[in-house]
Structure 1
Amino acid sequence: MAVSSSSSVQAARQVLADRLREICRDAGLEGKQLAAACGWHPSKVSRIATAKTSPSADDILAWCQACGAEEQAQDLIASLRAVEGMWIDWRRMEQTGLKHAQEGRLPLFKRTRWFRCYSSWLMPGLLQTYGYTEDVLRAVQRRRVAIDDVADAVAARMDRQRVLYEGQKKFAFLIEESVLHNALGNADMQVEQLEHLLTVGTLPNVSLGVIPARTGRTRMPVEGFWIFDKSQVNVELVSGYLTLVQPSEVGAYADTFAMLADLALYGDKARGLIASAMASLR
């Protein structure tokens, strides 16, 4: 499993390691004895017990069998799966194509009532036009995905945008002004995207803020992130997809969103920046 530096992931891995160490202690076994029973080198037991190495499901099963605690194995394996779900590298997430990755996030979007999104380099997915999405996902497919299911993936993302119009949901989007000038596709496609942004920004349940590119700002751009209610943050990094659920980390991103929101322009001023970007394209 790829290891993230996130404290949420590390804390979960440590809890799993602590439970395995307790099982070994309750069985009255030393690390060398456990290693011999499992047919491992003693250093492997040490690495797992100190959360330096993440065990596999087979490792957990062997550990529990050696300690006479087979009944705990499935619960621990379930905990392992939960830890693995916190950090997923792109190759693993997209190994069956981009459509599956798009569809897999839909349930989370459907059950969330308060979305907050900050983007420093691309138009947020819920605000993208078909053409913009196609260009984004085509670039992703060419860079790292062997399967070409871009058309299906675009359709899945377009379908996900229905959450903007369903139920009593609230959306707050923050984008850097540079996003308005992102050189994706041709000028006509970019103008279409900006016109769509103006339209979605008028929805009563949508707050759209544009952070102007100006000197003297007090907060630098950070990685793009989504906040789902008050329970989860997702961050798209170069190497993978990070899910944060630890309250302190969710709170840190919420505080960052609030500070960035103070820098943004809204209403007529935001629309003025968007109109200026459109004029430069024409």
Structure 2
Amino acid sequence: MSTDYQQGRVALGARLRELRTEGGLSGRALAGQLGWVQSKVSKLETGRQTPSPADLEAWASATGRPGIAAELQARLRGLETQYRSWNRQLAGGHRERQEAAVLETRRTDVIRAFEAARIPGMLQTAEYARHMLAAAAEFIGSPRDTEDAVRARIRRQEALYEPGRRFRFLLWEAALYVTIGSTEVMIAQLDRLVGLLGLDTVELGIIPLGAPARRTPAHGFWIYDDRLVIVETINAELWLDSPADIALYSRAWEWLAESAVTDHQAHRLIGRARASLTPR
């Protein structure tokens, strides 16, 4: 969990505790009034649990300050603008998140992205994407709307062919060897990468496994112009828009780019990965 998010959750908890004490209620009394276990009150007040909007509305009412619910919920929305848990984002399936990616891409002129262990979504074949999204739904336990999500992901790729756009992808060579689905799926995916190398809107850099690294690959991230960074973790997605964060991730991208090869050298690495999948 990001430090900024946790600090914000602690601050929200302190505000909840303030409302409870101003209302003359003990933690046990408030829990009893709301029908909660007392430990939930304690976790919310100490920032160890994220409240739901309904929790905040109930808290405000129980402490005699129903009008404060809007303020509390605004604080919560502010937290979740930056830190978006997968459980909440994917409660209705993957399609909505894919549609959000389509919208962000439409309003962006330059995308810079780095992926360490998978092909970037904007470069995926439908079959590769299908296996990725189905596996993610199984892991998170979210509803399976795989086909709708795949269609949205492929629709997002239309931006690759729009004049004036620029897409700069960095890929660690290891991602070419992580088998998603089957050998046939991977062969088609690697062929897709080769086909994109000639697009004037796309720059694909591959960081060879043995390349000297000024910065070692840590995790994937996407930079949208100079206004937004999106980072995926196992349990959440971070949307970072502070100038300091954007500058830091931009520096990380540039340092990684120093180790990457492009054009015919990238083609050679993709070809080598493809050859390893072809029966001899």
Where does residue 210 of structure 1 map in the other structure?
A: 206
Contact 2:128 2:180 in 1 (8 A): yes
Residue 136 (structure 2) pairs with residue 140 (structure 1): yes
Change beyond 3 A, Cα 1:67–1:196: same
Equivalent of 2:193, from 191, 197, 202? 197
Report the Cα distance in structure 2 between the residues aligned to 1:90 and 1:57, rounded to whole angstroms.
17
1:129 correspondence with 2:125: yes
Deviations 1:126-180 (A, max 9, x none): 0001121122223223434363322222111111111222363221100001111
TM-score, normalised by the number of residues in structure 1:
0.80
Give the deviation of 1:30 after TM superposition.
5.1
In structure 2, C-alpha distance between the alignment counterparts of 1:117 and 1:94, rounded to whole Å: 22
C-alpha deviation, 1:60, in angstroms: 4.1
- The reply to whether residue 258 of structure 1 matches residue 254 of structure 2 is yes
Which stretch shifts more, 244-253 or 200-209?
244-253
Aligned to 2:268: 272
Q: Are the counterparts in 2 of residues 110 and 163 from structure 1 also a CA contact under 8 Å?
A: yes
3-state SS, counterpart of residue 95 of structure 1: coil
Separation of aligned partners in 1, 2:167 and 2:189 = 18
Aligned pair partner of 1:109 in 105, 109, 130: 105
CA distance 1:210–1:149, shift in 2 (3 Å): same
Paired with 1:176 and 1:163, the residues of 2 have a C-alpha distance of 23
Which of 180, 183, 190 is the matching residue for 1:184?
180
Map 1:168-183 → 2, pairs under 5 A: 168-183=164-179
What are the within-5 Å matches in structure 2 for residues 11-160 of structure 1?
Answer: 11-13=7-9, 16=12, 33=24, 35=26, 39=30, 51=47, 53-58=49-54, 60-61=56-57, 71-145=67-141, 147-160=143-156
Output the CA distance in 2 between the equivalents of 1:190 and 1:251.
34
* Structure 1 unmatched runs, 5+: none
- The 3-state SS of whatever aligns with 1:250 is helix
Residue range with higher mean Cα deviation, 69-78 or 150-159: 69-78
SS at match of 1:33: coil
TM-score, length of structure 2 as denominator length: 0.80
Mark the CA change 1:68 to 1:32 in structure 2 (over 3 Å): closer, same or farther. Answer: closer
Alignment of 1:232 with 2:228, yes or no, is yes
Distance apart, 1:215 and its partner CA: 6.1
| CA separation of 1:214 and 1:156: change in aligned 2, threshold 3 A | same
Deviation of residue 100 (structure 1)?
2.8
Letter in 1 for 2:252: T
Residues 142 and 40 (structure 1 numbering): CA distance in 2 closer, same or farther, change over 3 Å?
closer
Aligned-pair CA distance for 1:70: 5.3
- For 1:201 and 1:193, locate their aligned partners in 2 and report how far apart those are by CA, in whole Å: 13
CA contact (8 A) 2:214 2:256 kept: no
- Could you tell me the percent identity over the aligned residues? 34
- Cα distance change on mapping 1:109 and 1:39 into 2, 3 Å: same
Which amino acid in the other structure matches residue 24 of structure 2?
Q
State how many pairs are aligned.
273
Q: 1:30 to 1:186 in 2, by over 3 A?
A: closer
* Alpha carbons 2:207, 2:260 under 8 Å: kept: yes
Equivalent AA in structure 2 for residue 187 of structure 1? T
Q: How far has the Cα of 1:98 moved from its partner?
A: 2.5
Q: Distance in 2 between matches of 1:85 and 1:216?
A: 36
Distance (Å, rounded) in 2 between the aligned partners of 1:34 and 1:268: 70
Distance in 2, matches of 1:149 and 1:61, equals 32
Following TM superposition, by how much is the alpha carbon of 1:68 offset from its aligned partner in structure 2, in angstroms?
A: 7.6
Contact 2:212 2:259 in 1 (8 A): no
Q: Using a 3 Å threshold, how does the CA distance of structure 1 residues 131 and 65 change in structure 2: closer, same or farther?
A: closer
- After superposition, the C-alpha distances for 1:80-109 in whole angstroms (9 at most, x for unaligned) are 123124323333322322223322332222
